[in-house]
Amino acid sequence: MMADRWTRMVRQQVGLGRFLPLGGPYDGAWIAERAASGVLRGAAEREVPEVRLGGVRIGLADPGEAAEPAVPAPPSALPPGPLRLTAEFAATAAWPLPETASRLRTALAVTATERIGLDLTEVDLRITELLDTEPPSSRPGTPETRGGTDTSGGAGMPGAAESEAARAPGSAGVAGAVGGGPEGERVAAVVLRVPGVSRLTGVWGLPVRLSEQAPAPGDALPRRHARVDLAVAAGFRPLEVARAVRAAVAEALPDRPTVAVLVTDLD
């Protein structure tokens, strides 16, 4: 059973892709690449319907320009810095290909920066195929168009029972589902009241983690750190929601810990 659980959690994190920085080094927020890619695909379908978007990858434009985050980052997360998006696409000949590529580049860049909050500075596109007919749109409500992940309890996000426990701070099962004991429950309750937070999620099974950092230079005592994994509701900008969550969590705990937010899904 333990081996199965470990395998499921590893697949879950791999499925989310890289953790991309939201905003700048002082924003303390990251988003799963899979969640961001789902929104980008939806924008491409709406704005450039004659295009079929293929593989999308987002990484640092120049690792040398990356900054040290002001709070501890989630494991394997990219440091804050300008990002580059690379994508392949197929298109019809309804428009000249350079114009199609330009429209697609604009749609992706605007969505990444304004809708999500990524510091995207470069978009590299490669056309792979010429289509005879316009590609069909993805079915509404699929994980690809929502930017969400599987909630069936398989290799995606936690199953329905775990999600419901995370939604209901104060219930009998919350301490185990949330993490951090009574303080974790308090954090969960505060986070779920922030506008734009649709639910708690949890990479490796815990949506709230409380830990201690080593003392910073000049500090006599270690400082606590909180990390919250969550999903953002449709119509809200993930970066703004993450900033609000960080402020709410820091205010809710008497020692005002540092706070990091990981957006795993866009609902």
With CA atoms as reference, report the closest residue to 237 among 139, 125, 116. Answer: 116
> Tens digits of per-residue pLDDT, 59-77?
999 999 899 999 999 988 9
pLDDT at 217: 60
Same domain, residue pair 114 and 163 = no
Of the residues 144, 166, 181, which one is the last residue of a structural domain?
A: 144
Cα–Cα–Cα angle for 230, 236, 241, nearest 5°? 50
Structural domain of 204:
148-266
pLDDT at 128: 93
Residue burial 231-244, b: 16+ Cβ < 10 Å; e: rest: bbeeebebbbbbbb
- Domains: count for the chain: 2
Q: State the pLDDT confidence band at 140, using cuts at 50, 70 and 90.
A: very low
**Of 56 and 215, more confident:** 56
Supply the DSSP symbol for 88. E
**Is the pLDDT at 37 greater than 80, yes or no?**
yes
Same domain, residue pair 163 and 86 = no
> Tens digits of per-residue pLDDT, 225-239?
999 999 999 999 999
Q: Is residue 7 part of a domain?
A: no
Look up the pTM and report it: 0.78
Domain at 57, CATH number: 3.30.70.1350
| Cα distance between residue 258 and residue 227, in whole Å | 9
Of the residues 144, 165, 195, which one is the last residue of a structural domain?
A: 144
Same domain, residue pair 91 and 54 = yes
pLDDT at 162: 36
Same domain, residue pair 169 and 240 = yes
> Tens digits of per-residue pLDDT, 86-137?
999 999 998 999 999 999 999 999 999 999 999 999 999 999 999 887 777 6
Q: Is residue 94 part of a domain?
A: yes
Query: What whole-number percentage of the chain has pLDDT above 70?
Result: 73
Q: Is residue 120 part of a domain?
A: yes
Amino acid in the structure at residue 114: E
Assign 103 to helix, strand or coil: helix
Of the residues 97, 124, 144, which one is the last residue of a structural domain?
A: 144
Same domain, residue pair 178 and 87 = no
Q: Is residue 12 part of a domain?
A: no
**Is the pLDDT at 183 greater than 50, yes or no?**
yes
Radius of gyration of the chain (CA): 19
Same domain, residue pair 52 and 118 = yes
**Is the pLDDT at 185 greater than 50, yes or no?**
yes
Q: What is the DSSP string of 110-164?
A: HIIIIII---EEEEEEEEEEEESSPPPPPPTT-HHHHT----SSSSSS--HHHHH
